[in-house]
Amino acid sequence: DVKVTQSSRYLVKRTGEKVFLECVQDMDHENMFWYRQDPGLGLRLIYFSYDVKMKEKGDIPEGYSVSREKKERFSLILESASTNQTSMYLCASSLSGTGGTEAFFGQGTRLTVV
């Protein structure tokens, strides 16, 4: 069974802390994504990566950075957490190639910044 695993289901952090969200996939997928999900706003893409050490900004990259040192692992970093980064964070992965490819999502990390 394919799997995308996010390291934490729930996190509570203080304003100004540096926060790491970890995601691991076991499907040998080239592409990995970080989204945040907020009511009324849907899923918004923060960053994605199409290869090891490669990254592209999504629609809302401000305040975030990412790291992909190994193919199976994609980390989202909040450099200095703020209360407006309280959200559900979803990691996903997919195969490359022409045509549509299914994105597989993790269960999400609900981050609360206090």
Q: Does 48 bind another protein (CB under 8 A)?
A: yes
Which range in 12-20, 27-35, 65-73, 76-84 contacts another protein by CB under 8 A? 27-35
Query: E strands within 3-113?
Result: 4-6, 10-13, 19-25, 31-38, 42-49, 56-57, 64-70, 73-78, 87-94, 104-105, 109-113
Which range in 14-22, 41-49, 65-73, 76-84 contacts another protein by CB under 8 A? 41-49
Give the number of residues in contact with another protein, rule: CB under 8 A.
Answer: 29
Q: Pick from 17, 26, 56, 79: which binds another protein (CB under 8 A)? A: 56
DSSP 62-91: TTEEEEEEETTEEEEEESS--GGG-EEEEE
Angle at alpha carbon of residue 4, lines to 3 and 8, rounded to 5°: 125
Q: Pick from 58, 63, 67, 86: which binds another protein (CB under 8 A)? A: 58
Instruction: Tell me the C-alpha distance between 63 and 6, whole Å.
Output: 20
Q: Does 40 bind another protein (CB under 8 A)?
A: yes
Which range in 13-21, 63-71, 74-82, 93-101 contacts another protein by CB under 8 A? 93-101
Q: Does 1 bind another protein (CB under 8 A)?
A: no
Cβ proximity of 105 and 92 under 8 Å = yes
Residues that bind another protein (CB under 8 A): 4, 31, 33, 35, 40-45, 48, 50, 56, 58-59, 90, 92, 94, 96, 99-108
